[in-house]
Structures are given as C-alpha cells and as structure tokens.
C-alpha cells in the first residue's frame, strides 16, 4: 500500500465534493455517521472495497454493512419482507441495520457480502453520510474507520490516530451522537433475529441462534461445497484451479499478482469454481503479506470446513 497524505476537512460542501470524487476513483473515505465514523467505499466495486480492508490492515474478511440514502434504494438491493419493511419505516434513517436476502440484480461486489446471499443494509441519519450518499450516487460499504483490532472511532481525531497515511480524506463532523455501532437485525421472512445489540431495541426480535458451526468456519461466510486444496502449483485430476500471478489456473484471482484485484475477485472465483465441473478446488499460493493475509485466512477457513 502506498503511503497517502491524509486530509482532515470539516463537513461541508467542499469536503463532500472531494469525498465523492475520491469514492468515484475507488478510494475509501472516512465519514461520520450517527453511530461511529465509517470508512466508506463504492459497494459496487470489489477493488474499492478491497482498499477498505487494505487500509484497516484487517486480517480477515467479514461481510460489511452497505449504506443507502433511503428505503427505496435499499429495496433495489435487498428483498424486504413485511416485517423488515415495518422496521425500516419506523427506524430509518437511524442506527439500525437490516440483514435481508440479496437481490440477484443488485450489482453489489461479492467481497461486500463475503459471498453470502444476504446483505446488511442501513439508512444512516447523519447529514455527512447522507450528503456523501447523494453526491456519490453509490451504495457505500462502510465498517468502522479504525485500524483492525482497535476501538471504534467516535471523533475525527480517533480516525486520524488510527489511519493517518492510509486513507486520503477524513470528513470531520465532530463527535458522533450514539457512540456505539448500529443494532443489527436479520429478517428471514417475518422472523426477526438480533445479530448485534445496539442503540435501538427491537423487542419482537428473537435472540441470535448460535447453531452448530464447522470448526474454523464462521457461519456468516460463504463456504464452497467442494473440497479446497491450498498452495497448489498445478491442477490435479478433476480439480478446478484458481490461479494467481504466474500460476494462471482456470480462473485467476489476478494475472498480474495484484492483491487488491485478488481480494476483489476472491468470492466470485470460489462461487465460479464451485459451479464448474470437477470434484475439487485447488488454489495457487498467495503471498502472506498485506491483503494476502486476509485472502489466506479466508482460504484456510474454506479448506478447513471440509475436515
Ligand atoms: O454503526 C454501524 O453499523 C457502523 C457504521 C459505520 O455504520 N458500521 C459497522 O459496520 O459497524 P461493520 O461492517 O463493521 O459491521 C458489520 C457487521 C458484522 O458484525 C457482520 O458480521 C455483520 O454486520 N453482517 C454484515 N452482513 C451480514 C450478513 N449478510 N449476515 C450476517 N451478518 C452480517
Ligand atoms: Mg467495527
């Protein structure tokens, strides 16, 4: 990752115009919401989303929350049951996130959902995030704007202390009102489950169902059906090879060995390899550095899920 000069600009028209320009160029930008500061990028671009992970130095991929300006836009991306729509009508804009089935025509990068068929959506109330959503015209994926493993930022100075030199712009909107991340509710038809407690209580939501999980495998990740073999230098019989750099493969994560591109392509490559003929998936070696750490973490989970 190249070192960047991080600008800190007060929320206003000029800062939003600059942020929208950076979003269009595929860069992540820190922006306040009513909960915590988010690190926002164009959710329709896998490479833009990969740069969020790169800036955070996050060693694993998690599905991210996508921010949209209103319920009508949310309904172009996810399928809302009656119960989900009722919650949205009561609480949006506001600090609640709804996990709903992803629409096949949503054009959301697969890195955003970590390959899942559901998506977390939120209409934020903060004027800065609202202004950026309108100016960019894009759904914005945004986790908290902190270095991985550090606490969530509620002031622009927290973001600067954590991500200085890693992102181009922080919009300073003062301290955030709520200070904790949004409540997350999964709406599976009309059944509501609490996935993360937060500022809004939803009395009708059931507690999250832990459930039995395969070892080393988060339930909230796409798992390939086929067995996965790592660090493959060549294809064995009846395998689909996912290549990288000088190992071409049947599908490549990045023919030039670019880790941002590889992260962007990871989940769609796993889906494609699963859908092709062949009984197993082999994956070429990925360097254990930068975004390669998160890619390898995900691949190891995919391989371990079979044991
Ligand atoms: O307040 C907030 O929600 C902040 C601000 C910036 O909006 N954002 C935030 O985003 O906390 P993030 O990406 O850090 O939170 C993502 C959470 C994770 O716990 C993830 O597992 C869950 O949402 N999540 C996202 N998509 C999901 C899905 N399809 N199914 C289940 N959980 C999901
Ligand atoms: Mg976070």
Q: Which residues contact 274 (CB under 8 A, 6 or more apart)?
A: 224, 225, 226, 281
Q: Determine the pLDDT at residue 73.
A: 98
Q: Determine the pLDDT at residue 221.
A: 67
In 3D, which of 19, 46, 50, 21 has the Cα closest to residue 294?
Answer: 50
In 3D, which of 282, 271, 270, 202 has the Cα closest to residue 234?
Answer: 282
**pTM greater than 0.85:** yes
Q: Is 208 in the pocket of ligand 1 (CB under 6 A)?
A: no
Residue whose CA is at the smallest distance from ligand 1 atom 16? 64
Cα 143 to middle of ligand 2, angstroms: 6
Which of ligand 1's atoms lies nearest the C-alpha of 181? 1
Cα 62 to middle of ligand 2, angstroms: 10
- Evaluate whether 61 touches 298 at the Cβ level (below 8 Å): yes
Phi-psi domain of 236 (left: phi exceeds 0; alpha: psi -120 through 50; beta: other): beta
In 3D, which of 21, 44, 40 has the Cα closest to residue 31?
Answer: 40
Cα 115 to middle of ligand 2, angstroms: 19
Cα 31 to middle of ligand 2, angstroms: 14
Report which DSSP code applies to 192. E
Kindly indicate the confidence band of residue 63, based on its pLDDT and cuts at 50, 70 and 90: very high
Cα 185 to middle of ligand 1, angstroms: 10
Give the pLDDT confidence of 96-124 residue by residue, as tens digits: 999 999 999 999 999 999 999 999 999 99
Kindly indicate the confidence band of residue 151, based on its pLDDT and cuts at 50, 70 and 90: confident
Cα 20 from Cα 39, distance rounded (Å): 13
Ligand nearest to the CA of 43: 1
Give the pLDDT confidence of 18-54 residue by residue, as tens digits: 999 999 999 999 999 999 999 999 999 999 999 999 9
β-bridge pairing 183-188 and 96-101: parallel
Residue 290 dihedral angles phi and psi, to the nearest 5°: 55, -135
Round the average pLDDT of the chain to a whole number and report it: 93
Report which DSSP code applies to 25. T
Give the pLDDT confidence of 213-241 residue by residue, as tens digits: 343 344 566 788 999 999 999 999 999 99
Q: Determine the pLDDT at residue 306.
A: 56
The stretches of the chain forming alpha helices (DSSP H) are 13-24, 46-56, 71-77, 82-91, 127-136, 156-163, 259-275, 291-304
Q: Is 36 in the pocket of ligand 1 (CB under 6 A)?
A: yes
Q: Is 218 in the pocket of ligand 1 (CB under 6 A)?
A: no
Q: Is 99 in the pocket of ligand 1 (CB under 6 A)?
A: yes
User: Which residue of 43, 55, 64 sits with most ligand 1 atoms within 8 Å of its CB, as the best mutation to test the pocket?
Assistant: 64
Mean of pLDDT values over 252-258: 97
Q: Is 49 in the pocket of ligand 1 (CB under 6 A)?
A: no
Asked whether the bond before 167 is cis by omega within 30 degrees of 0, the reply is: no
Q: Is 32 in the pocket of ligand 1 (CB under 6 A)?
A: no
User: Which residue of 184, 188, 209, 217 sits with most ligand 1 atoms within 8 Å of its CB, as the best mutation to test the pocket?
Assistant: 184
Structure tokens at 107: 């054009």
Residue whose CA is at the smallest distance from ligand 1 atom 4? 181
Cα 135 to middle of ligand 1, angstroms: 23
Give the pLDDT confidence of 164-222 residue by residue, as tens digits: 999 999 999 999 999 999 999 999 999 999 999 999 999 999 988 654 434 334 456 67
Sheet hosting strand 206-207, strand order edge to edge:
7-10, 169-172, 29-32, 37-42, 140-141, 65-67, 118-122, 96-101, 183-188, 191-196, 206-207
* Residue 226, CA distances (Å) to 116, 216, 305 in order: 16, 16, 10
Q: Determine the pLDDT at residue 210.
A: 59
Cα 64 to middle of ligand 2, angstroms: 9
Kindly indicate the confidence band of residue 127, based on its pLDDT and cuts at 50, 70 and 90: very high
- Evaluate whether 185 touches 202 at the Cβ level (below 8 Å): yes
């Amino acid at each position: 990752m190249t070192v960047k000069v991080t600008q800190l600009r007060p929320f206003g028209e000029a800062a939003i115009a600059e942020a929208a320009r950076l979003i269009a160029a595929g860069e992540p930008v820190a922006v306040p919401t009513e909960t915590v500061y988010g690190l926002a990028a164009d959710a329709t671009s896998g490479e833009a989303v990969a740069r969020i992970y790169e800036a955070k130095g996050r060693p694993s991929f998690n599905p991210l929350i996508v921010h949209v300006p209103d319920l009508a836009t949310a309904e172009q991306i996810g399928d809302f049951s009656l119960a989900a729509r009722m919650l949205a009508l009561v609480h949006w804009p506001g600090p609640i996130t709804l996990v709903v089935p992803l629409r096949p025509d949503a054009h959301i990068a697969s890195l955003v959902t970590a390959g899942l068929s559901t998506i977390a959506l939120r209409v934020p109330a903060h004027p800065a995030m609202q202004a950026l959503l309108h100016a960019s015209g894009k759904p914005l994926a945004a986790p908290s704007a902190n270095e991985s493993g550090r606490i969530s930022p509620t002031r622009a100075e927290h973001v600067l202390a954590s991500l200085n030199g890693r992102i181009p712009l922080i919009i300073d909107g003062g301290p955030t009102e709520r200070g904790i991340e949004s409540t997350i509710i999964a709406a599976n038809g009309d059944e509501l489950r609490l996935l993360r407690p937060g500022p809004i209580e939803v009395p009708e939501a059931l507690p999250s169902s832990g459930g039995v999980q395969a070892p080393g495998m988060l339930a909230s990740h796409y798992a390939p059906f086929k067995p996965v073999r790592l660090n493959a230098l060549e294809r064995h019989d009846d395998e689909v090879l996912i290549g990288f750099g000088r190992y071409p493969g049947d599908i490549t994560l990045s023919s030039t060995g670019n880790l941002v591109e590889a992260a962007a392509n990871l989940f769609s490559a796993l889906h494609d390899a699963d859908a092709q003929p062949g009984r197993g998936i082999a994956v070429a070696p990925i360097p254990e550095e930068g975004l390669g750490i998160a890619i390898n973490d995900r691949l190891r989970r995919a391989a371990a899920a079979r044991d």
